[in-house]
Amino acid sequence: MPPSLPETRIIAFTNQAGGAGKSTATVTIGAWLAEFGLKVLVVDLDAQSDSAQALGYDEPEQMDGQPTLYNLLIGTPGVGIRDTIVPALAGALGAEGTKPIEGLDILLPSAELESAEQLLTGQLARELWLTKTLAPVADDYDVILLDCPGNLGLVVVNALVAAKEVVACVKPTWKELRALTRIEQTIERISQSFGPNGAAPELVGILIADVPTTRSAGAVYDDSVKQARDAYGDLVLPTIRRSTRVPDSYAAQKPLPVFDRVAEVTDDFNAVVKALGFARLKK
Ligand SMILES: Nc1ncnc2c1ncn2[C@@H]1O[C@H](COP(=O)(O)OP(=O)(O)OP(=O)(O)O)[C@@H](O)[C@H]1O
Ligand SMILES: [Mg+2]
């Protein structure tokens, strides 16, 4: 057994808008951490199921007898959280050559999570549902990464309450960077409501991804990254360059560190993992 971290780190990747690089960050950082020798759980909270797909599982709700997060939400009798967790895969489930990724698990989502907001609304202590749901397995992992849907609804509020740390994901445009204040306000509101119970989340990083590398497209973007650094200082994590290896890795259903370990963009994510304070446990 490799050594483990003294306490489980729970990190939510969030943004109020879609297409900000949350799922890419969750899956890639998860794969790097597993490669570092940590035991990692990715929780896909999005009905789009992008992280699950990237880790080998196309339509979890179609898998015979396989419970998902949705079953936990509606309280299907006999289904516990461990029934919804499977090993992450390098490659599509059932395809030739597909192998589990050592140290990386995924809690499966479902397209039925579309109705999660309404289902949560009717629950008692509705903001604490995910915190309570994850509690039985938290000690099994060094790190739990929460991939949020692209809004600031009740599912995301649940993720922010469950997480100790929050990484805000944005693409390098003015509009997106301005929207960071809304994430900060939401975190602040949650801290005020839940802080005394020790459940206050902290914004630990701003991840700017899909940064163009060509000069013509880059001029405006470079400026917005600089503005973010001026406003947020060290909170701005190392940036992630734009690369075709990202969509390529999605198509192959392999996370970047498995798909192309030496690509620049894979290395960018390695720098982010280190900036978040993780060190390699495994040589
Ligand atoms: N560094 C990058 N280089 C090239 N393409 C990227 C990069 N990062 C993300 N993308 C692309 O941007 C799109 C959105 O990324 P991703 O799915 O990670 O965002 P998201 O925030 O999870 O979106 P959603 O809100 O829809 O869940 C994807 O098509 C992905 O392939
Ligand atoms: Mg996503």
Neighbours of ion ligand 2 (CB under 5 A): 22-23, 50
- Cα dist from 114 to 56, 145, 226, whole Å: 21, 20, 37
CA neighbor of 169 nearest in space, from 47, 52, 8, 28: 28
Q: How far is the CA of 88 from the centre of ligand 1 (A)?
A: 19
CA distance 15 to 173: 14
DSSP for residue 17: S
Q: What is the largest CA-CA distance in the chain?
A: 57
The three-state secondary structure class of 146 is: strand
The angle at the Cα of 48, spanning 47 to 49, to the nearest 5 degrees, equals 85
**What pLDDT does residue 207 have?**
97
Q: How far is the CA of 199 from the centre of ligand 2 (A)?
A: 24
195 Cβ below 6 A of ligand 1? no
For residue 42, report the phi and psi dihedrals to the nearest 5 degrees. -95, 130
CB 38 within 8 A of CB 5: yes
Taking the CA of residue 247 as reference, the ligand 1 atom at the shortest distance is 31
**What pLDDT does residue 125 have?**
87
Domains of the chain: 9-275 (3.40.50.300)
Cross-strand bridge partners of residue 222: none
Residues 6+ apart with CB under 8 A from 91: 56, 97, 98, 99, 252, 253, 254
Q: How far is the CA of 25 from the centre of ligand 1 (A)?
A: 8
- DSSP H or E run through 100: strand 99-107
Best residue among 13, 51, 156, 210 to mutate for probing ligand 1, ranked by most atoms within 8 Å of CB: 210
**Alpha carbon nearest to ligand 1 atom 15, residue:** 21
Taking the CA of residue 46 as reference, the ligand 1 atom at the shortest distance is 27
CB atoms within 10 A of CB 80: 14
Q: How far is the CA of 15 from the centre of ligand 1 (A)?
A: 12
171 Cβ below 6 A of ligand 1? no
**Alpha carbon nearest to ligand 1 atom 3, residue:** 242
Q: Exposed, middle or buried, 173 (CB in 10 Å: 0-12/13-18/19+)?
A: middle
pLDDT of the chain along its 283 residues, tens only? 555 666 899 999 999 888 999 999 999 999 999 999 999 999 999 999 999 999 999 998 888 889 999 999 999 999 999 999 999 999 999 999 999 999 999 999 999 988 998 899 988 889 999 999 999 999 999 999 999 999 889 999 999 999 989 999 999 988 888 889 989 999 998 888 876 555 678 999 999 999 988 766 556 666 888 889 999 999 999 999 999 999 999 999 999 999 999 999 999 999 999 999 999 987 6
